[in-house]
């Protein structure tokens, strides 16, 4: 039996090991058949949580590749309901670079496109990919709260945030999850107050890059 964890303030249980799908869509990515086999193996062995983002792609002309790939693979497996897909918005990929844009307008555009690429009416978990130094986080989270009120997302998550930013976000809306880097060579989340803040507020901590 796989080890499971309760997802935040919900009663949903997810496998403790999720699938970070980013490598399936960046430059040097595997062919589609290999990518499908990765997802198929994960799901057939009890995996039920896949992490994605609209910018897991090659460049700004390829935005949404990872979401479309996951949706296509799950459709082939006839498993579009049992697996939770978490995605993110708030970055751009100009000429293959990585830039932050967590403005309300861009978050809304990104969410609308993710709905299309995932072929869903509502995204279960939509995460702010990173705080924008040019946009107050309460404005970014405020837009996510409006998207939630409109029924376009079910739960709000955060990524690459500090404990202080989590507290600011909580003043605007409930937060289901926080995804920060955490592995044997980077244990900052245990010392900078992020994990403690998550525990105190019943927020799931999702460790990205867990094997370093």
pLDDT tens column, 138-191:
999 999 999 999 999 999 999 999 999 999 999 999 999 999 999 999 999 999
Give the pTM.
0.96
* pLDDT value of position 79: 74
Continuous H helices in 65-187? 65-76, 104-118, 137-149, 163-170
pLDDT of 192 reads 97
Helices (H), 5-136: 32-44, 65-76, 104-118
Checking if the pLDDT of 2 tops 80, the result is: no
Percent of the chain with pLDDT over 70: 100
Which strands make up the sheet holding 177-181, listed edge to edge? 19-20, 49-51, 84-89, 123-128, 153-159, 177-181, 204-208
Per-residue pLDDT at 108: 98
Alpha-carbon gap, residue 63 to 58, rounded angstroms: 8
194/1: higher pLDDT? 194
The DSSP code for 152 is: S
Q: What's the average model confidence in pLDDT over 1-16?
A: 92
Task: Spell out the long-range contacts of 168-175 with Cβ–Cβ below 8 A and sequence spacing 24 or more.
Answer: 168/137, 168/138, 168/141, 169/128, 169/137, 169/138, 169/141, 170/201, 171/138, 172/138, 172/141, 172/142, 172/145, 173/141, 173/142, 173/144, 173/145, 173/148, 174/9, 175/8, 175/201, 175/203
3-state SS class at 71: helix
The answer on pLDDT for 40 being more than 80 is yes
Using DSSP bridges, classify how beta strands 177-181 and 4-6 pair: parallel, antiparallel or unpaired.
unpaired
Q: Out of 5-19, 33-47, 77-91, 143-157, which region has the weakest mean confidence (pLDDT)?
A: 77-91
Q: Is the pLDDT of residue 1 over 70?
A: no
- Kindly list the distances between the CA atom of residue 146 and the CA atoms of 87, 142, 150, in Å, as whole numbers in the listed order: 17, 6, 6
> What confidence score (pLDDT) does residue 211 get?
80
The residue count of the chain comes to: 212
**What average pLDDT does this structure show over 97-118?**
98
Q: Known catalytic residues?
A: 56
């Amino acid at each position: 039996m796989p080890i499971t964890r309760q997802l935040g303030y919900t009663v949903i249980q997810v496998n403790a090991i999720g699938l970070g799908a980013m490598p399936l869509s960046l430059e040097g990515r595997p062919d589609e058949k290999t990518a499908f086999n990765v997802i198929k193996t994960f799901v057939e062995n009890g995996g039920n949580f896949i992490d994605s983002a609209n910018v897991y792609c090659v460049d700004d002309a390829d935005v949404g590749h990872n979401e479309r790939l996951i949706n296509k693979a799950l459709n082939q497996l006839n498993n579009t309901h049992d697996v939770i897909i978490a995605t993110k918005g708030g970055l751009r990929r100009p000429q293959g670079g990585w830039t932050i844009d967590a403005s309300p307008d861009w978050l809304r555009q990104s969410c609308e496109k993710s709905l299309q690429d995932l072929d869903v009416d509502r995204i279960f978990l939509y995460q702010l990919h990173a705080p924008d130094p040019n946009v107050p986080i309460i404005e970014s989270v405020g837009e996510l709260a409006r998207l939630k009120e409109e029924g376009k997302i079910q739960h709000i998550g955060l990524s690459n945030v500090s404990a202080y930013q989590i507290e600011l976000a909580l003043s605007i809306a409930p937060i289901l999850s926080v995804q920060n880097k955490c592995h044997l060579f980077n244990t900052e989340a245990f010392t900078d107050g992020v994990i403690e803040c998550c525990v105190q507020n019943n927020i799931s901590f999702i460790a990205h890059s867990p094997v370093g």
